[in-house]
């Protein structure tokens, strides 16, 4: 269970990282929309686990590797934005959020089930 402090800090990081990706993310991920779906922060606020979702891309794993390769640059830009609010800028760990893919698979399964002919109930 996250403390209120962790949740507030995660919200600040999520908001500021979203602006970083919106303004400067096209430099390393052109024509790709990056969404920060969730941020989890460790109790000591030293590590932020950032879950990303990518749109308009064929290989999300490659995009995640690209973001991870630029983690130092992204952390620096985040630090420039939140330097007056925090003592130390947390290390950033990026993860792929595949929730949308899971939802799409489940929708397809439910559609398939609903299209199958129903068998009469036996009494």
Q: How do the domains of the chain map onto residue ranges?
A: 4-115
User: Which residue shows structure tokens 């969730």?
Assistant: 38
- With CA atoms as reference, report the closest residue to 41 among 80, 83, 76, 11: 11
The predicted structure's pLDDT at residue 123: 57
pLDDT band at residue 105 using 50, 70 and 90 as cut-offs? confident
Question: Which CATH code of 3.30.530.20, 3.30.720.120, 3.30.365.10, 3.30.300.20 fits the domain covering 4-115?
Answer: 3.30.300.20
Per-residue pLDDT tens for 58-103? Answer: 888 899 999 999 999 999 999 999 988 888 899 999 999 877 777 7
21, 43, 65, 86 from 33: Cα distances, Å = 9, 30, 15, 28
Per-residue pLDDT tens for 5-62? Answer: 999 999 999 999 999 999 888 888 888 888 899 999 999 999 999 999 888 888 888 9
3-state secondary structure of 86: coil
């Amino acid at each position: 269970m996250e403390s209120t402090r962790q949740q507030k800090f995660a919200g600040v990081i999520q908001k500021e990282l979203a602006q970083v990706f919106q303004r400067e993310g096209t430099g390393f991920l052109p024509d790709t929309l990056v969404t920060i779906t969730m941020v989890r922060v460790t109790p000591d606020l030293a590590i932020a686990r950032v879950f990303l979702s990518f749109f308009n891309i064929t290989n999300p794993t490659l995009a995640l590797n690209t973001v991870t390769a630029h983690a130092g640059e992204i952390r620096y830009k985040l630090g420039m934005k939140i330097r007056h609010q925090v003592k130390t800028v947390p290390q950033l760990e990026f993860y792929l959020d595949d929730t949308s893919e899971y939802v799409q698979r489940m929708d397809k399964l439910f559609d398939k089930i609903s299209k199958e002919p129903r068998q009469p109930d036996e009494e």
